[in-house]
Amino acid sequence: NETTHFTSIVIGTGYGGAVSALRLGEAGVDTLMLEMGQLWDKPGPDGKVFCKMTKPDGRAMWFKNRTEAPLSSFLWIDAINRPIDYYAGVLDRINYPNMSVYVGRGVGGGSLVNGGMAVTPPMNYFQEILPEVNTHEMYNKYFPRANQKLQVNTIPNTLLENSPYYRFTRVGRQQAEKAGFKTVTVPNIYDYNYMQQEEAGKVHKSAFGKEVIYGNNGGKRSLDKTYLADALGTGKVTLKYLHRVDAITQNSQGLYQIDVSEINTSGATVAKKTFTCKHLFMCAGSVGSTEMLVRARETGKLPSLPSEVGTHWGNNGNVMTARANHMWHPTGTKQSTIPAMGINDWDNASNPVFAEIAPLPTGFETWISLYLAITKNPERGHFEYDATKQQAVLRWGAHQSQPSINSAKAMFDKINKANTTIYRYDLFGNNKAFADDFTYHPLGGCVLGKATDLYGRIKGYSNLYVNDGALVPGNTGVNPFITITAMAERNIEKIIQEDMLK
């Protein structure tokens, strides 16, 4: 049983964790990063680090016997999900009653599995959700910093307008515009120079080879290639992966004590370890950080945590839907996995929606237009400790997804009407046109200014911080990682200045 002390420990290696570790390392603070997933740098038997969506194996999912993709069927047939080996794979689906949450597992967190859409929220909406945060500073300093460090780039016109891999996007744009909606090009962290080489047949096809939610083998500038590489480059940051944090508490000297299981890729514990630190950064994602903190409070390990920890959780109003196009509007046998456009109706006062025109890369023609809609759903969930499971569980009622459906329906009814098309009912189970029971964008649980002060310092304790998606109050109006990264930059700068350098 190894015990080691660090000045600071960062739990989790997603956006918030990567930003925190880099800035702590640059400030000369010895820092340990703990990540329960793998370091994805070793090729499997097929010579690739990650598997394709269309040919999943154990690498696809975090300890499941079968894949759990968001589309559960095709033509009502259970043809999408496959049995896989129980293994420390890269995508997790945490199934709570009425709401499942997808998250990335591995060094880089969500950046390993996400679509890379790098969207800065509209300024007026950011101001609405976080009125105490200085908007001017965010839009002039921290959003640009996040965009620059994440190496955000924009799709070249030649790809968007001419590539067969973006036909689905052009069809989606044309049909939205026919119904009077505005569309916007969406920046991404995927390297479009690499994508152009994929198109030219010069490199491994990743975005053009059906790779994304189970990881990309090329082109994706995930955090391990940006922030985390730089963090390790400071020489002050130690990374331990396949290290799962089981419990956090405070010892008699006021240091935080972190109990960890080192696991192998089959999930067996190979060592138990204890680490201590003065400054503890919770960056395990909205659900990961919130769950651990609620459990710490309810089991008496950190009894002074405020009651706001575990509240104000939202799904960013996520709802997925699909339309059936006419035979003369094929969406393409070839589809890039990297989305490039959105339908932007966020200014609509009654039904604000920002909908990603999403790919459905099956390799055959489906005539389907797929969308991930982000809506302004005011409903919020909370976490409750379940003593039998020894876990904090998300409470989200089925009815709480209805506002998202209503908004998305308002948009897509119009698009269907203008194009004389209909919804697809065969993709999400139970003849549903709207998949309202999962989210890619968990947000909140330890919200800025409620569970924490205005920089992520948790109320009731010193030197205990949240610096990830758990701080964002349930909704950002756009895909969230740029907001999470920019907020993390802002908070860590203040914390280093005021709590660590003084």
Integer-rounded Cα Rg, in Å, for the chain is: 22
CA distance 449 to 129: 11
Residue with Cβ nearer ligand FDA (17 or 332):
17
Give the closest residue to 101 by CA, choosing from 284, 356, 329, 359.
284
In which residue are the tokens 């976490």 written? Answer: 383
Pick the piece of the chain touching ligand FDA (CB under 6 A) from 49-57, 109-117, 388-396, 489-497.
Answer: 109-117
* Contact flag: residue 104 with ligand FDA (CB under 6 A): yes
CA distance 495 to 487: 12
Among 6, 12, 214, 298, binds ligand FDA (CB under 6 A): 12
Shortest distance, position 484 Cβ to ligand FDA, whole Å = 5
* Contact flag: residue 475 with ligand FDA (CB under 6 A): no
Q: Which residues contact 487 (CB under 8 A, 6 or more apart)?
A: 16, 133, 138, 142, 448, 467, 471, 472
Shortest distance, position 10 Cβ to ligand FDA, whole Å = 9
The secondary element (H helix, E strand) that includes residue 192 is helix 192-199
Among 50, 87, 102, 275, binds ligand FDA (CB under 6 A): 102
CA distance 490 to 472: 13
Burial 118-138 (b: 16+ CB within 10 A, else e): bbbbbeebbbebbeebeeeeb
- Cβ(50)–Cβ(111) below 8 Å: no
Among 245, 277, 322, 392, binds ligand FDA (CB under 6 A): 245
Give the closest residue to 240 by CA, choosing from 31, 469, 466.
31
Candidates 35, 68, 291, 356; catalytic one: 356
State how beta strands 443-445 and 311-314 pair. antiparallel
CA distance 12 to 231: 13
* Contact flag: residue 103 with ligand FDA (CB under 6 A): yes
Pick the piece of the chain touching ligand FDA (CB under 6 A) from 43-51, 99-107, 305-313, 387-395.
Answer: 99-107
Residue with Cβ nearer ligand FDA (116 or 218):
116
Length of the chain in terms of residues written:
502
Distance set, CA 65 to CA 28, 98, 127, 469 (Å): 43, 21, 43, 28
Residue with Cβ nearer ligand FDA (408 or 421):
408
Pick the piece of the chain touching ligand FDA (CB under 6 A) from 115-123, 150-158, 398-406, 422-430.
Answer: 115-123
- Tokens encoding 193: 């120079």
Judged by CB under 6 A, the chain residues 254 through 283 that form the site for ligand FDA are 283
Residue with Cβ nearer ligand FDA (53 or 421):
53
* Contact flag: residue 155 with ligand FDA (CB under 6 A): no
What is the pattern of x (binds ligand FDA, CB under 6 A) and - over residues 14-43? xxxx----------------xxxx------
Shortest distance, position 413 Cβ to ligand FDA, whole Å = 25
Total interface residues for ligand FDA by CB under 6 A: 39
356 counts as catalytic:
yes
Distance set, CA 257 to CA 88, 292, 305, 388, 452 (Å): 26, 13, 16, 24, 20
Pick the piece of the chain touching ligand FDA (CB under 6 A) from 286-294, 345-353, 374-382, 385-393.
Answer: 286-294
- Tokens encoding 239: 């990374």
What is the pattern of x (binds ligand FDA, CB under 6 A) and - over residues 205-234? --------x---------------------
* Contact flag: residue 109 with ligand FDA (CB under 6 A): yes
Residue with Cβ nearer ligand FDA (321 or 325):
321
Residue with Cβ nearer ligand FDA (107 or 411):
107
Residue with Cβ nearer ligand FDA (281 or 434):
281
- Cβ(45)–Cβ(18) below 8 Å: no
Give the DSSP letter of residue 65.
Answer: S
| Active site members | 356, 441
The residue ranges that bind ligand FDA (CB under 6 A) are: 11-17, 34-37, 102-105, 109-110, 113-117, 213, 244-245, 283-286, 288, 292, 440-441, 468-469, 479-481, 484
